[in-house]
Structure formats: C-alpha cells, structure tokens
Amino acid sequence: MAESATIVGVRTRKHPLAMKTIQEYFIGADQIAGILDFEEGHVKEAWALFLKTNAEKKTQIISFIDCTNVILCQHYSIDTILAFDRHFEGYLTRIF
C-alpha cells in the first residue's frame, strides 16, 4: 500500500482523483487487496533482512518496505508478488 500510494502520487504529480482512487483500492469500497497485520517480531525480521541484503555496497539499496513485504509474504505463506523490482527474485515469484 505504501509503495503504491507513493508511486501514484509521484507519477500523477499528486493528482487528487488519482490519490483518492488508490486510497479506495486499499481501504475503501473498491478494495482490491487486503492489508496484512504487521507484528513486532516481523519488524525485527525485516530489520535483519534489510541489513543482510544491503551489506554488499556494490548493489543498489533494497528498501526497508521491500524487506517488510518479503517477511510478511513468508509469514502469510504468500509466494508471489506483483513488483517491478528484481530484488524480490530469490525470495518470491515476481509477476509484473
């Protein structure tokens, strides 16, 4: 949700209708996706993954939010993610 809302805001130059529409897709009447609960243990795992994946200075940084997505998918037995980022490969099946 965080990534989607941000990219809609950036790519539409904060167009009010676009931003309201993406909100409706996540928490409104037009909801197309659920929001997974994030527990304290998940935060620690996400930090561990964030530090591990970004230890190599030669690679592009993998965002903390992407690390949280991987951890949540693992805990909720989700094996596929809709994403453009290739760094999900190795953790999840990526569709785009």
* Residue pLDDT, tens place only, 69-89: 999 999 999 999 988 888 999
Distance, C-alpha 29 to centroid of its chain: 22
In angstroms, the CA 67 to CA 48 distance is: 9
Q: Which residue, among 77, 50, 46, has the nearest Cα to 61 in the 3D structure?
A: 50
User: Tokens standing for 38?
Assistant: 């994030």
* Dihedral, 91, 70, 58, 96 alpha carbons, nearest 10: 70
Total Cβ atoms within 10 A of residue 66: 21
What is the predicted pLDDT for the residue at 66?
94
In angstroms, the CA 36 to CA 22 distance is: 17
pTM of the model: 0.78
Contact 26, 35 (CB under 8 A): yes
* Residue pLDDT, tens place only, 29-72: 999 888 888 899 999 999 999 999 999 877 789 999 999 999 99
